[in-house]
Chains A and B, each alone.
Chain A
Protein backbone atom coordinates (compact mmCIF):
# COMPACT_ATOMS: atom_id res chain seq x y z
CA UNK A 1 0.00 0.00 0.00
CA UNK A 2 1.89 3.05 -1.27
CA UNK A 3 -0.43 5.76 0.16
CA UNK A 4 0.46 9.13 -1.39
CA UNK A 5 3.26 9.15 -3.97
CA UNK A 6 4.88 12.29 -5.36
CA UNK A 7 7.11 12.58 -8.40
CA UNK A 8 9.71 13.87 -8.90
CA UNK A 9 11.47 14.00 -5.53
CA UNK A 10 13.91 16.74 -6.55
CA UNK A 11 14.02 19.25 -9.36
CA UNK A 12 16.08 22.27 -10.31
CA UNK A 13 14.58 24.79 -12.73
CA UNK A 14 15.76 27.98 -14.33
CA UNK A 15 13.60 31.09 -14.02
CA UNK A 16 10.85 31.00 -16.62
CA UNK A 17 10.85 27.24 -17.14
CA UNK A 18 7.70 25.19 -16.60
CA UNK A 19 7.12 21.87 -14.90
CA UNK A 20 4.42 19.60 -13.54
CA UNK A 21 4.44 17.81 -10.20
CA UNK A 22 2.46 14.59 -10.00
CA UNK A 23 0.63 13.26 -6.96
CA UNK A 24 -0.97 9.84 -6.91
CA UNK A 25 -2.96 8.23 -4.08
CA UNK A 26 -4.22 4.67 -3.83
CA UNK A 27 -6.59 5.12 -0.87
CA UNK A 28 -9.64 6.14 -2.91
CA UNK A 29 -9.76 9.50 -1.13
CA UNK A 30 -12.04 12.22 -2.45
CA UNK A 31 -10.06 15.24 -1.25
CA UNK A 32 -6.55 16.09 -2.40
CA UNK A 33 -4.27 19.01 -1.64
CA UNK A 34 -1.07 20.76 -2.63
CA UNK A 35 0.93 22.58 0.04
CA UNK A 36 4.23 24.38 0.08
CA UNK A 37 6.53 24.41 3.11
CA UNK A 38 9.01 27.20 3.71
CA UNK A 39 11.28 27.67 6.74
CA UNK A 40 9.51 29.28 9.67
CA UNK A 41 6.17 29.53 7.87
CA UNK A 42 4.53 26.15 8.23
CA UNK A 43 2.54 24.42 5.53
CA UNK A 44 0.49 26.71 3.28
CA UNK A 45 -2.31 25.48 1.05
CA UNK A 46 -1.84 26.21 -2.66
CA UNK A 47 -4.82 24.47 -4.29
CA UNK A 48 -7.14 21.66 -3.37
CA UNK A 49 -9.74 19.37 -4.92
CA UNK A 50 -12.88 17.91 -3.35
CA UNK A 51 -13.43 15.41 -6.15
CA UNK A 52 -12.56 14.34 -9.67
CA UNK A 53 -12.88 17.24 -12.09
CA UNK A 54 -12.98 19.90 -9.37
CA UNK A 55 -10.29 22.28 -8.12
CA UNK A 56 -10.23 25.34 -5.89
CA UNK A 57 -7.74 27.98 -4.74
CA UNK A 58 -6.11 27.82 -1.38
CA UNK A 59 -4.10 30.36 0.55
CA UNK A 60 -1.24 30.96 -1.94
CA UNK A 61 -2.46 30.01 -5.45
CA UNK A 62 -0.69 32.65 -7.58
CA UNK A 63 1.75 31.22 -10.13
CA UNK A 64 0.33 27.68 -9.90
CA UNK A 65 -2.33 25.70 -11.72
CA UNK A 66 -3.80 22.29 -10.94
CA UNK A 67 -5.85 19.56 -12.56
CA UNK A 68 -7.71 16.52 -11.22
CA UNK A 69 -8.72 14.53 -14.28
CA UNK A 70 -8.69 11.22 -12.40
CA UNK A 71 -9.70 10.64 -8.80
CA UNK A 72 -6.35 9.17 -7.86
CA UNK A 73 -4.17 11.89 -9.44
CA UNK A 74 -3.66 15.57 -8.65
CA UNK A 75 -1.23 17.59 -10.78
CA UNK A 76 0.44 20.87 -9.82
CA UNK A 77 1.82 23.01 -12.64
CA UNK A 78 4.23 25.91 -12.66
CA UNK A 79 3.88 27.74 -15.97
CA UNK A 80 6.79 30.16 -15.56
CA UNK A 81 8.90 29.36 -12.52
CA UNK A 82 10.20 32.15 -10.29
CA UNK A 83 12.87 32.04 -7.53
CA UNK A 84 10.08 32.73 -5.00
CA UNK A 85 8.68 29.29 -5.84
CA UNK A 86 11.76 27.57 -4.44
CA UNK A 87 10.22 25.43 -1.74
CA UNK A 88 9.27 21.94 -0.66
CA UNK A 89 5.92 20.87 -2.08
CA UNK A 90 3.70 18.33 -0.38
CA UNK A 91 0.64 16.56 -1.65
CA UNK A 92 -1.97 15.18 0.73
CA UNK A 93 -5.25 13.30 0.53
CA UNK A 94 -8.17 12.94 2.92
CA UNK A 95 -11.10 10.58 3.27
CA UNK A 96 -14.56 12.13 3.64
CA UNK A 97 -17.86 11.16 5.17
CA UNK A 98 -16.43 9.37 8.18
CA UNK A 99 -16.15 12.30 10.59
CA UNK A 100 -12.39 11.78 10.57
CA UNK A 101 -10.60 14.60 8.77
CA UNK A 102 -7.09 13.17 8.71
CA UNK A 103 -4.85 14.22 5.85
CA UNK A 104 -2.14 11.83 4.67
CA UNK A 105 0.98 13.29 3.10
CA UNK A 106 3.47 12.29 0.46
CA UNK A 107 7.24 12.51 0.90
CA UNK A 108 7.55 15.86 -0.85
CA UNK A 109 9.17 17.41 -3.91
CA UNK A 110 12.13 19.69 -3.33
CA UNK A 111 12.19 22.39 -5.99
CA UNK A 112 14.91 24.97 -6.57
CA UNK A 113 14.37 27.77 -9.06
CA UNK A 114 17.57 29.53 -10.08
Chain B
Protein backbone atom coordinates (compact mmCIF):
# COMPACT_ATOMS: atom_id res chain seq x y z
CA UNK B 1 0.00 0.00 0.00
CA UNK B 2 1.29 3.44 -0.93
CA UNK B 3 2.18 5.66 2.03
CA UNK B 4 2.73 9.40 2.01
CA UNK B 5 3.84 11.29 5.11
CA UNK B 6 4.17 15.06 5.30
CA UNK B 7 6.07 17.03 7.91
CA UNK B 8 5.73 19.22 9.77
CA UNK B 9 1.96 19.34 10.27
CA UNK B 10 2.11 23.10 10.72
CA UNK B 11 4.73 25.75 10.03
CA UNK B 12 4.66 29.36 11.17
CA UNK B 13 7.07 31.68 9.38
CA UNK B 14 7.93 35.31 9.48
CA UNK B 15 7.71 37.10 6.15
CA UNK B 16 11.03 36.57 4.36
CA UNK B 17 12.00 33.54 6.47
CA UNK B 18 12.75 30.69 4.05
CA UNK B 19 11.91 27.10 4.96
CA UNK B 20 11.18 23.66 3.56
CA UNK B 21 8.31 21.18 3.72
CA UNK B 22 8.95 17.46 3.53
CA UNK B 23 6.99 14.69 1.83
CA UNK B 24 8.32 11.17 2.33
CA UNK B 25 6.78 8.31 0.41
CA UNK B 26 6.81 4.53 0.22
CA UNK B 27 5.48 3.23 -3.08
CA UNK B 28 6.15 0.52 -5.61
CA UNK B 29 7.09 2.16 -8.88
CA UNK B 30 6.61 5.91 -8.67
CA UNK B 31 4.84 7.38 -11.71
CA UNK B 32 4.62 10.91 -10.39
CA UNK B 33 4.72 13.05 -7.26
CA UNK B 34 2.35 15.99 -7.08
CA UNK B 35 2.24 19.16 -4.99
CA UNK B 36 -1.01 21.01 -4.49
CA UNK B 37 -1.87 24.22 -2.65
CA UNK B 38 -5.16 24.45 -0.77
CA UNK B 39 -6.58 27.70 0.58
CA UNK B 40 -9.20 27.64 3.36
CA UNK B 41 -12.64 26.77 2.00
CA UNK B 42 -11.33 25.93 -1.47
CA UNK B 43 -10.28 22.90 -3.45
CA UNK B 44 -6.67 21.84 -4.01
CA UNK B 45 -4.88 23.77 -6.75
CA UNK B 46 -2.17 22.02 -8.76
CA UNK B 47 1.38 23.33 -8.36
CA UNK B 48 3.95 20.81 -9.65
CA UNK B 49 4.49 17.29 -10.88
CA UNK B 50 7.85 15.55 -10.48
CA UNK B 51 8.48 12.30 -12.31
CA UNK B 52 12.02 11.16 -11.51
CA UNK B 53 14.68 11.53 -8.83
CA UNK B 54 16.78 14.65 -9.32
CA UNK B 55 14.03 16.59 -11.01
CA UNK B 56 13.28 20.13 -9.84
CA UNK B 57 10.45 22.53 -10.65
CA UNK B 58 10.08 26.20 -9.71
CA UNK B 59 7.22 28.65 -9.57
CA UNK B 60 7.71 32.10 -8.09
CA UNK B 61 8.92 31.56 -4.48
CA UNK B 62 8.31 27.81 -4.56
CA UNK B 63 10.75 25.11 -5.62
CA UNK B 64 10.01 21.39 -5.52
CA UNK B 65 12.68 18.70 -5.55
CA UNK B 66 12.51 14.91 -5.67
CA UNK B 67 14.70 12.05 -4.43
CA UNK B 68 13.98 8.32 -4.43
CA UNK B 69 12.39 8.53 -0.99
CA UNK B 70 11.14 12.07 -0.50
CA UNK B 71 10.28 15.41 -1.95
CA UNK B 72 10.86 18.88 -0.57
CA UNK B 73 8.92 22.03 -1.20
CA UNK B 74 11.18 24.99 -0.55
CA UNK B 75 9.59 28.36 0.12
CA UNK B 76 12.05 31.20 -0.43
CA UNK B 77 11.41 34.59 1.19
CA UNK B 78 7.72 33.81 1.79
CA UNK B 79 5.00 36.43 1.79
CA UNK B 80 1.68 36.35 3.69
CA UNK B 81 -0.08 35.31 0.48
CA UNK B 82 1.91 32.04 0.57
CA UNK B 83 -0.11 31.03 3.63
CA UNK B 84 -2.01 27.85 2.74
CA UNK B 85 -2.04 24.11 3.24
CA UNK B 86 0.35 22.30 0.92
CA UNK B 87 -0.59 18.77 -0.08
CA UNK B 88 1.69 16.09 -1.47
CA UNK B 89 0.37 13.11 -3.45
CA UNK B 90 1.87 10.18 -5.33
CA UNK B 91 0.76 8.06 -8.23
CA UNK B 92 2.44 4.68 -8.46
CA UNK B 93 2.41 1.20 -9.89
CA UNK B 94 0.52 0.23 -13.00
CA UNK B 95 -2.45 2.55 -12.53
CA UNK B 96 -2.71 5.99 -14.07
CA UNK B 97 -5.68 7.11 -12.07
CA UNK B 98 -5.21 6.85 -8.31
CA UNK B 99 -3.50 9.47 -6.16
CA UNK B 100 -2.48 8.80 -2.56
CA UNK B 101 -2.39 11.99 -0.51
CA UNK B 102 -0.50 13.04 2.57
CA UNK B 103 -2.31 14.91 5.34
CA UNK B 104 -0.75 18.23 4.38
CA UNK B 105 1.39 20.96 5.93
CA UNK B 106 -0.34 24.18 6.95
CA UNK B 107 1.92 27.17 6.41
CA UNK B 108 1.22 30.52 8.06
CA UNK B 109 3.36 33.50 7.06
CA UNK B 110 3.20 36.54 9.32
CA UNK B 111 3.92 40.01 8.03
Contacts and interface: CB of A to CB of B under 8 A. Distances in A.
Interface of A: 4, 31, 33, 40-45, 48, 50, 58, 90, 94, 96, 100-108
B91 A101 contact: yes
9 contacts: A42-B4, A42-B102, A43-B89, A48-B97, A101-B31, A102-B46, A103-B99, A107-B43, A108-B41
Contacts of A43: 44, 87, 89, 99, 101
Interface of A is mostly: strand
Contacts of B31: 101
A45 B41 CA distance: 19
A101 B104 CA distance: 20
A96 B87 contact: no
A41 B43 contact: no
Interface string B45-59: 110010000000000
